[in-house]
Amino acid sequence: MTAASDGPVIAPLVAKRLDVLLRDHGFDADKLARLSGIDRALLDRILSGSTEPTVDLLWKIVNALGVRISALLSPGPAPDFALFRASETRRFTSRDGGFQSRVLSPSPSGAPVEFYGITLAPGAQQRFEAHAPRTAENLTVHSGTIEVIVGREPARLLNEGDSIYFLADVPHSYRNLGEEPAQLYLVMTYWGLPAD
């Protein structure tokens, strides 16, 4: 995903957090490139904050490091009280712009649950590689009709108000079958990853 034009860019935050995570895990950029499968030149641009990472790249990085996605997107510990203005929330989109995600919770590093709002453009499909073991997704359709495929399970059709829960440690995808943007809410739960 790349950062959306209508919200704060995430590249500087990801670069800062990734620098800390590399030190904490005793990794250098070469090792992360090898484990994540990300081209070293592209990884260098992410590390410098000059490239907005796609959703696919974010997942490759966190899977290689064995951390939650909030480890890259959280600026610090969760506050006791927080107000999230729509214009100030961190957003990221797919390379083609068909998938846009917005962080809806403080997502402190190490929190077992993260909450996202997702918009899928008409006809857009977003594929995900397997997440860390025992990572679960609970997806609810606010508006639209989508198809969800999880691992080798048959495709499931979800309409407005429908929800699906699944372990996301297998490849999975969402596809908008409608002619209007689909609005989704996603709760990610990390049952298998230790707190950061």
C-alpha pair distances (Å), 53 with each of 47, 115, 167? 10, 19, 24
Q: Which of 2-6, 43-47, 75-79 has the lowest mean pLDDT?
A: 2-6
* Segment 79-131, tens digit of pLDDT: 666 667 777 777 777 888 899 888 887 665 556 888 899 999 999 999 998 88
Instruction: Report the Cα–Cα distance between both ends of the chain, in Å, rounded.
Output: 24
Q: Which CATH architecture has domain 11-73?
A: Orthogonal Bundle (1.10)
The reported pLDDT for the residue numbered 4 is 41
Measured distance CA(169)–CA(119) in Å, rounded: 22
- 5 falls in which pLDDT band (50, 70, 90)? very low
Which residues make beta-bridge pairs with 183? 119, 143
- 149 falls in which pLDDT band (50, 70, 90)? very high
Domain boundaries of the chain, sorted by first residue: 11-73, 86-190
Measured distance CA(150)–CA(169) in Å, rounded: 9
Mean pLDDT of the chain: 85
Share of the chain above pLDDT 70, in %: 85
- 72 falls in which pLDDT band (50, 70, 90)? confident
Q: φ and ψ at 31, to 5 degrees?
A: -65, -45
Superfamily of domain 86-190: Jelly Rolls (2.60.120.10)
Nearest 10 degrees: Cα torsion 162, 134, 126, 145: -10
- 2 falls in which pLDDT band (50, 70, 90)? very low
Token pair 């490239």: residue: 51
100 contacts 11 by C-beta, under 8 angstroms: no
Written as six digits, the tokens of 25 are 């895990």
Q: What is the DSSP string of 92-105?
A: EE-TTSSEEEEE-S
Most confidently modeled range among 30-34, 125-129, 132-136, 139-143: 139-143
Measured distance CA(14)–CA(21) in Å, rounded: 10
